[in-house]
Structure 1
Amino acid sequence: MNFSFLTPVSEDVLIYRQLLSPQTVGKKLQVHTSEDGVPSLSGGEIALLGVLENRRDASKKNNRLNFDEIRKSFYALFPGSWNTTCVDLGDLEPGETVEDTYFALKETISILLSQKVIPIVLGGSQDLTYANYRAYDAILPMVNIVNVDARFDLGEVSEAITSKSFVGKIILEEPYNLFNYATLGYQTYFNSQEEIDLMKKLYFEAYRLGEVSKDITLVEPVLRDANIVSVDISSVESSILSENQKISPNGFSGKEICAIARYSGISNKVSSFGIFDLNTTGNESQTAMLTAQILWYFIEGVNARIIESDFVDDKTYQKYITLVDDFELIFYKSLKSGRWWIEIPFLSNVNNKLKKHTLLPCAKNDYDMAINNIVPERWYKAHQKNIL
């Protein structure tokens, strides 16, 4: 495996690690050092990776990034009852061009995914999500992305990719592998009406900050269906971030962003997770500790994953069939976890990449809507994308 793009964890962090309790995360994970090299990977692992690239940051801060404080905060935490091995692969330095960084990140994530290792990316500007997405080109026929962000990040198609326009490039550039894009926590005043209209036209999902904060469980089915989860740290309210990270007084609370991270980890489909727009250059202890706790909750979620059945054995699920207007809606409830799915039938006359019945994660509330003759919005949007 070629990890030549990566630089070791700094000596400052390694010295700090030596002083930690043997029970801490830092003492239990394997670390890329200049002396020992990159830790070996054997699958079933989680790999932390810093990417020090922010030249496409739309806010034009472009500071020299440093994730040492985040690592120290994360290393000092105590793990839960984790059965996965965690490794810290160190950092990916900016390439000569931004495209060089994209290539290096794509190649690194491709290697990790092929080894069944879940990469956790610490960014840099959020346009790095584009490179993360491209790493799936030879791995999955269709990809679902969830963006935890106050903005949709669709941007102007005619302009160069930035941290606020990377989704437009994902949508329009071949190969077309994006099936669904969902934004959690968007704030209307940060998004143009054209972007809002385009989200609706493409049948993408968008959940306002207010509705998610009112009921955080709303995001669980959305994250259960995601392959890539990209978190913009500026989606968090500025009062709990360090001074140079403050963007908006409104946003997710610390508890809410950690709950979202845990839901992401619990999802069996999520195979990469990233926290971006980290403008950390030194001693930003508040942002560092929140980021460390987000990492902790994601890993905690991964360790709480439940392998669901494929709903072949009728002893493992309950099946419900409802008729809404002209649609026959088929729901499945797992007897193991209590989670719900709804079936999206394959349309044989449509040339798409979904060659079978697809089970879409949903909530019990979707079934309750169906028996009251209301088509669930998630099902409708997925069905419409299937026939586009």
Structure 2
Amino acid sequence: MYEPWLKAADKPSPALPSYSFGKHLRPRARKIAVAIIGIDAEVAKKTREHLFSTSWAFGKLVVRDLGNLRKTSPDFVIPLLRELHTAGITPVLIGASSSAFTAQYLAFAELNRQVSLLNIDRSIKLNPVGESGEVLDNAVHNKGRRRFHLSHLGAQQHLVDPAIFDLFNAQAYEAISLGPARSSIPALEPLLRDADLVGLNIESINYHEAPARAGLHPSGFSLQEASQLAYYAGNSDKLSSFGLYGLDPEAGSERDAELSAAAYAQLIWYFLQGFSRRQGDFPASSTGMLEYLVDIDDFDKLTFWRSPRSNRWWVQVPASNKKGEERHRLVPCRYEDYLEASSKQTLPDRLMAAFRRYV
């Protein structure tokens, strides 16, 4: 079905043990939950070698390796991703250049859907005043696109034009720099739960754990922290596309490339672990969610929702108009946000910014 876009990758080694990832791929499955796709064939080959030797811990999750793209231009990638989204298949994209994140986003525009995207990178690849070929330009500056929200995690302030932070604030986007992000990784979970797609560039990870990439920038998330973010992404019922970028096999030694490919494999593994533990929460279903009403200054009433399946929380946007698709109108939040609203009569800046997107 997807042969016009893809060519088969090497099969897992038959010598792999029975518990390994490579032994649990479903090469002929038609009802697929997750599809592995190589955007850059060399990077994908190295990643698969490490991924396939890891353990399988995902129960009955159906994962199929669809192979590698025949071409990598955005106009070639977009129709494939559109087909996968329509079929309810979540692609895991193994790329090199972060420019493929643009195609990952534009595939949603082809479906005429409003989209919330989240990028994890050491810098915010955006021109603050107009399109110039940066990765996020099209998402922000092209008025014809149905982009709804943009979040960014892990930017290092000394690498970012201050005008970009001003733009984020004006548009009620979210940008959490590396220091605040690392101070509480669990606090980032609602942002990942709010995203339709995530692109993770390994330049956001500290150099020693993912050295085969451009530039000499030592700081970043630890690989363990990035794996936690990947888990949160996989565990979100809203998210339907996950991409890894930034690995450059020519940067550094062969050992650097193998270590970075192993980091890719680890990130995919934790994304799939999160995926295999999805609870069918909103927006998959709001059935059985518990309602909590809070009287708070500046609002008539605020409605919080909790899922007894996962114990996760959302707050309902109090806007009277219907701007934004309904699935965006419950904003993921934390129990601490509910407590702050109910006991202290305050809301965190993040939720106040979210409400601004509806006025």
Q: What TM-score do you get using the length of structure 1 for normalisation?
A: 0.84
Preserved CA contact (<8 Å) 1:237 1:252: yes
Residue aligning to 2:346? 374
- The reply to whether residue 153 of structure 1 matches residue 130 of structure 2 is no
Paired letter, 2:6: L
Judge conservation of contact 1:157–1:168 (CA < 8 Å) in 2. Answer: no
Is residue 2:31 matched to residue 1:42? yes
Distance 1:24 1:177, change over 3 A: same
Q: Go from structure 1 to structure 2 and tell me whether the alpha carbon gap of 1:160 and 1:192 turns closer, same or farther (over 3 Å shift).
A: closer
Name the residue aligned to 1:79. Answer: 56
SS for the counterpart of 1:181 is strand
Describe the SS at the equivalent of 1:301: helix
> Secondary structure of the equivalent of 2:125?
coil
Shift of 1:114: 1.3
| Residue 90 in structure 1 maps to residue 63 in structure 2 | no
Q: Given the alignment of the two structures, is residue 19 of structure 1 paired with residue 15 of structure 2, yes or no? A: yes
Give per-residue Cα distances to partners, 1:168-189, cap 9 Å, x unaligned: 2112225331111111112111
Instruction: Report the 3-state secondary structure (helix = DSSP H, G, I; strand = E; otherwise coil) of the residue aligned with 1:103.
Output: helix
Paired AA for residue 77 in structure 2: L
- CA gap of 1:106–1:174, structure 2 versus 1, over 3 A, is farther
Q: Which of 17-26 and 366-375 deviates more? A: 366-375
Structure 2 residue matching 1:261: 3-state secondary structure: helix
Partner of 2:104: 132
Q: How large is the RMSD of aligned CA atoms in angstroms?
A: 2.3
The residue aligned with 1:121 is 93
Query: Residue 58 of structure 1 corresponds to which residue in structure 2?
Result: none
* Stretches of structure 1 lacking an aligned partner (at least 5 in a row): 32-38, 53-63, 96-100
Q: What secondary structure, in the 3-state scheme, does the structure 2 residue paired with 1:135 have?
A: helix
Give the distance between the partners of 1:356 and 1:69, measured in 2 at CA: 38
The SS at the match of 2:66 is strand
- Shift in Å at residue 145 of structure 1? 0.6
The change in CA–CA distance for 1:30 and 1:337 in structure 2 (over 3 A counts) is: closer
How many angstroms apart in 2 are the aligned matches of 1:306 and 1:356? 17
Tell me, yes or no, if structure 1 residue 270 matches structure 2 residue 247: no
Instruction: Give the structure 2 partner of residue 55 of structure 1.
Output: none
Partner of 1:8: 8
Name the residue aligned to 1:177.
146
Deviations 1:223-260 (A, max 9, x none): 11110000011000001123556642110001101000
1:33-65 CA distance string (max 9 Å, x none): xxxxxx45324x21111112xxxxxxxxxxx94
- The residue number in structure 2 matching 1:232 is 201
CA–CA distance in 1 between the matches of 2:357 and 2:123? 22
Residues 1-388 of structure 1 aligned to structure 2 (within 5 Å): 1-10=1-10, 14=11, 17-31=13-27, 39-43=28-32, 45-52=33-40, 65-94=42-71, 101-139=73-111, 141-155=113-127, 158=130, 160-161=132-133, 165-243=134-212, 247-280=216-249, 284-308=257-281, 310-311=285-286, 313=288, 316-326=289-299, 328-348=301-321, 352-354=323-325, 358-371=329-342, 372-387=344-359
Normalised to the residue count of structure 2, the TM-score between the two structures is 0.90
Q: Which segment drifts farther, 103-112 or 291-300?
A: 103-112
Q: How many residues align?
A: 352
| Deviation readout 1:278-325 (Å, 9 max, x if unpaired) | 213566221111110100000000000001375564xx4141313123
CA distance in 2, matches of 1:346, 1:331: 14
Q: Does the residue aligned with 1:268 lie in a helix, a strand or coil?
A: coil
Higher mean displacement: 143-152 or 167-176: 167-176
Letter of the 1:300 counterpart: Q
Q: Percent identity?
A: 25
Inter-CA distance 8–49: structure 2 relative to 1 (3 Å threshold): same
For the residues of structure 1 that align with 2:248 and 2:327, how far apart are their CA atoms? 43
C-alpha distance 211-298 of structure 1, shift in aligned 2 (>3 A): same
Question: Measured at CA, do residues 155 and 216 of structure 1 come closer, stay the same or move farther in structure 2, by a change above 3 Å?
Answer: same
Cα distance in 1 for partners of 2:328, 2:199 equals 27
Residues 2 and 88 of structure 1: CA distance in aligned 2, closer, same or farther (over 3 Å): closer
Q: Which runs of 5+ in 2 are unaligned?
A: none
Q: What secondary structure, in the 3-state scheme, does the structure 2 residue paired with 1:298 have?
A: helix
